[in-house]
Amino acid sequence: MLGCGLQARAHVEAFREVLPLQVVRAFDRHRERATAFAEDVRREHGVAASAHDSVREVVEGMDVVLTAGAIAQHTDPPIAPGWLAPGAFACSVDYASPWSAGALGELDLVCTDDRAQLEAARRSGPVARLPPVHADLAELVTGRKSGRTAEEQRTLACNLGLALADAVAAVLVYRRAREAGLGTRLPL
């Protein structure tokens, strides 16, 4: 886990649903966040977790890597070529900000949640460095495109977020607020 905020916490829970999560390594530019995150993962999930002082310590040798830091245009992104292990899966919710061009060039498959949104984002920002997208979520789910075809392939999901998920969450929040008698009605 690179970046130890809410995204990382939610992803630990999601990964635990589909993976035999055994070890979590954490890095955050604020060391105390990584330490607190690791402690919470150990306590809440019973998984071995540790905080680290370098990005390399967190990426090398791991089967799954999540990058969830600040979206930024780094002049020298910290994830270098050779760090992502063969067969590893990386998930980027930070527009691939920490991935160097060399590290991105080693990927075998790049997928995204919404191809049109990602292609529009290529005009500016760090996502412009991404290799061509192999498939989007709809293509993978419907079988129009295959995912990994060999165990050693390095894969990256660069998910920028779907507005549909935000709309669903807003409806749930609204319903719960009404049930609890909370909120203020605003004139439109």
* pLDDT at 180 > cutoff 80: yes
pTM of the predicted model as reported, rounded to 2 decimal places: 0.85
Domains of the chain with bracketed CATH: 6-162 (3.40.50.720)
* pLDDT at 127 > cutoff 80: yes
For residue 159, give the amino acid letter.
N
Q: Which of 175, 188, 133, 138 is nearest to 157 (CA)?
A: 133
Residue 125: per-residue pLDDT? 81
Q: How far apart are CA 79 and CA 49, in angstroms?
A: 21
Confidence of residue 106 (pLDDT cuts 50, 70, 90): very high
Report the sign of the C-alpha dihedral through residues 15, 6, 97, 138, in that order. positive
